[in-house]
């Protein structure tokens, strides 16, 4: 497992893209809408990891609810895995709970699942695997 990216919930991609472009000294390499999740994303390379900015595309999206409850900030940590099904089974045996155990398509050509924050010290953890 490696840290694949850090997801940051933002109110405005326009404002946040400008900020992170200045901060990291580079432009976003990819913007993508994930309709099913109600989110628009913007990705930045940061060494061997990435920063994913997440803006809600509709009011009832998880990102919109997160910002309403906690404000802008770190939303999740994502760990890249070689075999997402193996990792789900392994972590279930270790007692971890998932928001959904069935991998689904995410942004940046990934299959994703989320562990429930109640079993990870309040941190939303995403597992992601490159789609083949």
- What confidence tens digit (pLDDT) does each residue in 36-95 have? 999 999 999 999 999 999 999 999 999 999 999 999 999 999 999 999 999 999 999 999
Count of domains for the chain: 1
Q: What is the pTM of this model?
A: 0.92
Tokens 């994913």, residue?
52
The answer to whether 10 touches 81, Cβ cutoff 8 Å, is no
Q: What is the CATH number of the domain that holds 105?
A: 3.10.180.10
The answer to whether 112 touches 103, Cβ cutoff 8 Å, is yes
> Domain containing 57: what range?
2-130
């Amino acid at each position: 497992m490696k840290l694949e990216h850090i997801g940051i919930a933002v109110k405005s991609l326009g404002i946040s893209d400008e900020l992170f472009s200045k901060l990291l000294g580079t432009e976003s390499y990819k913007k993508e809408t994930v309709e099913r999740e109600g989110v628009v994303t913007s990705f930045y390379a940061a060494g061997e990891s990435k920063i994913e900015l997440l803006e809600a595309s509709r009011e009832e999206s998880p990102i919109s609810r997160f910002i309403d409850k906690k404000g802008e900030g770190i939303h999740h940590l994502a760990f890249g895995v070689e075999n997402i099904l193996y990792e789900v089974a392994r972590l279930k045996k270790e007692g971890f709970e998932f928001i959904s155990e069935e991998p689904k398509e995410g942004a940046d050509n990934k299959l994703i699942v989320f562990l429930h924050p109640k079993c990870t010290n309040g941190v939303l953890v995403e597992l992601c695997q490159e789609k083949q």
